[in-house]
Structure 1
Amino acid sequence: MRGRLDGLSMLVTGGGSGIGAAVTLAYLREGATVTAIERSTDHAAELRHAAQGLPLHVVEGDATAPDVVTAATDVAIAAGGGVDQLTCCVGVFDHYVSLRELSVAELLAAAEETWRLNVLSTLVAVHAAWPALRDARGSVTLTLSESAFHPVGGGVLYGSSKWALRGVVQHLSADLAPQVRVNGVAPGGTTGTRFSGLHSLGRGATTVDARAGRDERIAAGTSLHVKPAPEDHAGAFVYLADPVAARIVTGVIVNSDGGHAPAAAVNRPPGSMEGDRR
């Protein structure tokens, strides 16, 4: 039985855990050859094990480093004959930090780290993969967040970086046309992501799942009252990567957030963790 992505070569940055891993595995199961960049040796090993012999190639390294992304692009070209699709899943969380809580030095360091990882890394990856994507008439899918649409799911640093990615989708969809399609997926709160915080604020080892009661807050903040897992978002990525089903889709963001519940944001007390989502 043919998969939707049979014969395609995919490059995934941040593909070793959470949504990135779920998307990588979904691509593989749909018939693609996937090259994933993953910084953590442990996560890379887990991904290889989960792939169960499917055509996965893991490049261990920092997906924000141009030389690593260039090397991974070369691996994808060698493994799959080109790069048909680039998916960017690298990100860092700000744990709702407020400007009121930061010194100027902390603000500068935290902003640089957030915007470098969440925004600049995407531009670096697209820059490295562009020639191969152009030749393949391929596509790019960026990972946003509900924070790109509503003041929930993070603080001003995280939220502003995801708002910036909305602009990246729009501008790149025009810049790379007509050869390459550019779209995004904006997940809402998700369980089991191991999504970690800012090293510049000493929170690099802290994940969003560490907070008690987070799953219940996620469900309460959605219209469908659901607690999405990483796998629940993978279908949106597969659709956007499909060169047949999504042939005329570009500049689009799919909101896989369970249906935003505005009351959850309106009723959130200032400085509280209510509405803790991504």
Structure 2
Amino acid sequence: MSGRLATVAAVVTGGGFGIGRAVVEAYLAEGAAVTVVERSAENAERLLHDHPHGVQVVVGDATDPALLARAVAEAGAGGRAHGQLTCCVGVHDSFASVRELTAEALTEAGRELWSTNVLSAMLAVNAAYPWLSRSSGSVTLTVSESAFHNTGGGVLYGSSKWAVRGVISHLSADLAPEVRVNGVSPGGTTATRFAGSETLGTPTPADQRAGRDQMIADGNVLGVVPSPADHAGAYLYLADPVAARVVTGVVINTDGGRR
């Protein structure tokens, strides 16, 4: 197998749709062996149908330590020289305001979003660290423009993504020198289907929200409306054990340059 990731085995959580799926396809195109953790059996089946070679899928919740350990074990069994963990799993808060939620709903939603968007990444790192440390591996976490600006979600989603920025900063020191830790912070993206919160409900699909693409274009200096694939190059660079060998503690903003 040729390609810049030919020596890499990657675990991608949330790799069944949206940006996660685009990242999986970019990794495959560059020769990586990819193990996907995906909650939706439908998304998993579609991924395997479209990519019958090079992908294995573990269906289940990315907050389940046993499931994560299984995915890591399957990825490590292939004998590739370098391990890579990419976390794309997350749920949105439907732009909920603390002014409008009951205390009970706020408590439940906070637990759900912070567990899924933050703790799941740390659990994945916890499961993968022995493998990554043996293989001069790396971690790439998904942030969001909401971790830099008060846009793209409500306070629950935004605060969880600010926390992911902190996780990257601290883990890059904690796991050094064996493992690199970085992040990608996508901006607004066309046709992205947000994963719904069980507490707050599923947001209106992005491609059905009137005027959203124009709002995205108006909000960045390049005037672009990114697709999921537009973000994948940043993940690809950070996963490259040669090109990004000296890069850690970095977040790449793929947002067209926020205004």
TM range (shorter): over 0.9
> In 2, Cα distance between the equivalents of 1:205 and 1:60?
23
The answer on whether the counterparts of 1:40 and 1:60 sit within 8 Å (CA) in structure 2 is yes
**Matched residue pairs, number?**
259
Instruction: After superposition, give the CA deviation of every residue in 1:33-61 in whole Å (9 maximum; x if it has no partner).
Output: 0000111111112212232x431111111
What amino acid is aligned across from residue 247 of structure 2 in structure 1? Answer: V
Question: TM-score under structure 2 normalisation?
Answer: 0.96
TM superposition shift of 1:205: 6.9
Distance (Å, rounded) in 2 between the aligned partners of 1:124 and 1:172: 12
Percent of pairs with identical residues: 59
Match of 2:9 in 1: 9
**Map of 1:16-27 to 2, 5 A cutoff?**
16-27=16-27
**Any stretches of 5+ residues in structure 2 without a counterpart?**
none
Measure the CA separation in 2 of the matches of 1:161 and 1:80.
Answer: 35
2:219 aligns to what? 221
Amino acid at match of 2:6: D
How far is 1:216 from its partner?
Answer: 1.5
Question: How do 1:158-169 and structure 2 match up within 5 A?
Answer: 158-169=157-168
Residue range with higher mean Cα deviation, 77-86 or 152-161: 77-86
Match for residue 239 of structure 1?
237
Q: What secondary structure, in the 3-state scheme, does the structure 1 residue paired with 2:181 have?
A: strand
Determine the C-alpha separation between the residues in 2 that align with 1:251 and 1:193. Answer: 27
The Cα shift of 1:80 comes to 4.3
Tell me how far 1:210 sits from its aligned partner: 3.4
Residues 123-160 of structure 1 deviation map (CA, whole Å, 9 limit, x = unaligned):
00000000000000100000000011111111110000
Aligned pairs for 1:103-182 (under 5 A) are 103-182=102-181
Question: 2:228 — aligned with what?
Answer: 230
- The one-character-per-residue Cα deviations of 1:212-236 (angstroms, maximum 9, x if unpaired) are 2211211111111111110000000
**Cα distance in 2 between the residues matched to 1:209 and 1:112:** 28
CA-to-partner distance for each residue in 1:150-176, whole Å, 9 max, x for gaps? 111111100000000110000000000
Distance 2:204 2:190 in 1: 15
Pairwise CA distance, 1:79? 3.0
* Counterparts in 2 of 1:56 and 1:205: CA distance versus 1, 3 Å: same
Please name the residue that 1:42 is paired with: 42
Quote the Cα distance in structure 1 between the aligned partners of 2:245 and 2:203: 40
- Deviation, structure 1 residue 206: 4.5
Q: Is the 8 A contact 1:192 1:229 kept in 2?
A: yes
- Structure 1 contact 8–80 (Cα < 8 Å) conserved: no
Root mean square deviation, CA, Å: 1.4
Is residue 94 from structure 1 mapped to residue 93 from structure 2 by the alignment?
yes
Residues 181-196 of structure 1: pairs in structure 2 closer than 5 A: 181-196=180-195
Aligned equivalents of 2:244, 2:41: Cα separation in 1: 34
**CA displacement, residues 251-275 of structure 1 (integer Å, 9 cap, x when unaligned):** 00000001101xxxxxxxxxxxxxx
Structure 2 distance, partners of 1:167, 1:15, is 23
Say which SS state the counterpart of residue 99 (structure 1) adopts. coil
Post-superposition Cα deviations, 1:76-107, rounded to whole Å, max 9, x if no partner, equal: 11234476100000100111111111110011
Structure 1, unmatched stretches of 5+, are: 262-278
Q: Which amino acid aligns with 1:10?
A: A
Give the direction of change, closer, same or farther, for the CA distance of 1:88–1:4 in structure 2 (3 Å limit): same
Matching residue's letter, 1:246: A
CA distance, structure 2, for counterparts of residue 207 and residue 120 of structure 1: 25
Give the residue type in structure 2 aligned to 1:91.
G
Distance 1:11 1:169 in 2: 17
